[in-house]
């Protein structure tokens, strides 16, 4: 069902690249079932590994179906600069995924972020990068986010933005 959704656009798949975020990985996106090139960043692998012990993604990476790519410093700087202006709380992983998509776009490819995460979807819009929801039933139950203070480590619900104890800007991470 997922793969049908992904091909529903009917666009030529040659230059399209799926950029997978953690929600895509956790939702059971099956990299082996699409011919579209797929990439992600190391941080997604790390987050996903923390959430699930059995990962199809790791197998796919080992089989060469998903490429783990480090974004360029130039793209990282561009994303960080623009994110700073929005005031959104964005994780290091999100920034790297966006930067990777930006690199691909500049290289003449058609990156498409595969994500159920609103923060990343908002960022993608900001950078004119298309995204695709996974919309798999159950994803909300599997992947829950929380915000944590980078300074003192206190945890907050996803709606909080500042630490009540020390005033630091909270960062988002998958709930354990
Ligand atoms: Zn704090």
Closest CA to 148 of 79, 70, 92: 92
Strand order across the beta sheet in which 66-68 lies: 66-68, 37-40, 16-20, 110-114, 130-132
Cα 153 to ligand 1 centroid, rounded to whole Å:
6
Q: Where are the domains of the chain?
A: 2-143, 144-176
To the question of pTM greater than 0.75 for the whole model, the response is no
Cα 89 to ligand 1 centroid, rounded to whole Å:
15
Q: What is the CATH number of domain 2-143?
A: 3.40.50.1010
Closest CA to 97 of 112, 107, 108: 112
Which residues does residue 37 pair with via DSSP β-bridges, in sequence order?
Answer: 17
Residue 159 has pLDDT above 90, yes or no: no
CB count, 10 Å around CB of 176? 7
Cα 26 to ligand 1 centroid, rounded to whole Å:
29
Q: Tokens 């082996």 label which residue?
A: 32
Cα 151 to ligand 1 centroid, rounded to whole Å:
5
Q: What is the pLDDT of residue 67?
A: 84
User: Helix (H, G, I), strand (E, B), or coil: what is residue 145?
Assistant: strand
Residue 138 has pLDDT above 90, yes or no: no
71 compared with 84, residue with greater pLDDT: 71
> Over the stretch 110-133, which tens digit does the pLDDT of each residue have?
999 988 777 788 888 888 999 888
Q: What percent of the chain has pLDDT over 70?
A: 70
Which whole-number Å values give the CA distances from 98 to 24, 61, 105, in the listed order? 15, 20, 10
Cα 126 to ligand 1 centroid, rounded to whole Å:
29
Closest CA to 71 of 31, 37, 44: 44
């Amino acid at each position: 069902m997922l793969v049908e959704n992904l091909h529903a656009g009917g666009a030529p798949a040659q230059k399209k690249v799926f950029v997978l975020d953690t929600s895509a990985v956790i939702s059971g996106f099956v990299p082996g079932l699409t011919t579209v090139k797929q990439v992600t960043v190391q941080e997604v692998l790390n987050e996903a590994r923390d959430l699930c012990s059995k990962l199809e993604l790791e197998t796919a990476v080992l089989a060469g179906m998903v490429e783990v790519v480090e974004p360029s410093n130039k793209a990282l700087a561009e994303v960080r600069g623009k994110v700073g202006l929005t005031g959104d709380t964005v994780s290091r992983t999100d920034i790297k995924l966006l930067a990777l998509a930006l690199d691909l776009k500049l290289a003449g490819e058609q990156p498409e972020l595969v994500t159920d995460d609103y923060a990343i979807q908002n960022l993608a819009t900001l950078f004119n990068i298309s995204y695709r929801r996974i919309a798999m039933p159950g994803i909300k139950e599997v992947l829950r986010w929380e915000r944590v203070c980078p300074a003192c480590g206190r945890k907050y619900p996803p709606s909080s933005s500042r630490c009540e104890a020390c005033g630091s800007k909270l960062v988002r991470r998958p709930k354990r």
